[in-house]
Amino acid sequence: MKLSENTSVSHVKIIDLPVVTDARGDLTFLEGERHVPFPIRRVYYLYNVPVDAERGGHAHRELEQVIFALSGSFRITVDDGDEKAEYWLRNPRKGLYINRLIWREMDSFSQGAVCMVLASLPYEEADYLRDYDEFLKSARGM
Ligand code: T46
């Protein structure tokens, strides 16, 4: 299985947000259905993450998300069942859009990293695929 940065794992892409810069600093903004391709139903964030922590390790049946590093950096490995790709998030202007049925793993958090996630649906444990073989069956339509 191939593993490289920014390759063709389907339904994953970097979203570039606008920035307004002046002498007071940078301001970035986003609107649901304009800058991200869904109405935003939930926001959550990860912080105080130990540098050796591994998060994720699941896919979602229906949920779409956009993931940002608001501060610091971390790695996300995505897998559509055929191909894997890895992304390093470190720029608060660049989010990673992840569609449904994509396995994701997150690690290599820098000290003090803050990860913000915009989600298309409220939290629902039944939406998670936490078993990799079960994910593969769903991703391959079996
Ligand atoms: C994802 C990655 C990037 C809630 O009660 N409400 C919520 O909105 C969320 C996101 C989580 N939780 C509970 C469920 C678990 O008992 O928080 C606990 C930790 O969640 P989890 O182990 O799923 O955390 P991560 O960091 O592995 O995954 C999270 C999201 O769950 C997931 O959708 O894609 O961040």
Is it the case that residue 1 has pLDDT exceeding 50? no
CA of 105 from ligand 1 middle (Å) equals: 12
How many structural domains does the chain have? Answer: 1
Q: What residue numbers bound the domain in which 15 lies? A: 3-139
Least confident of 5-9, 58-62, 107-111: 5-9
Least confident range from 3-12, 46-55, 66-75, 78-87: namely: 3-12
Number of neighbouring beta carbons within 10 Å of residue 91:
15
Global pTM value: 0.94
Beta strands in the chain (DSSP E): 3-5, 12-16, 19-22, 25-28, 42-46, 55-60, 65-71, 74-79, 84-89, 94-98, 103-107, 114-119, 128-129
**Cβ–ligand 1 contact at 53 (below 6 Å):** no
CATH number at residue 59: 2.60.120.10
Tell me, what's the pLDDT at 2?
Answer: 44
The answer, yes or no, to whether residue 104 has pLDDT greater than 80, is yes
Quick one: which atom of ligand 1 is closest to the CA of 56?
27
CA 28 to chain centre: 18
Question: How far is residue 13's CA from residue 15's CA, in Å, rounded to a whole number?
Answer: 6
Per-residue pLDDT at 8: 55
pLDDT at 142: 77
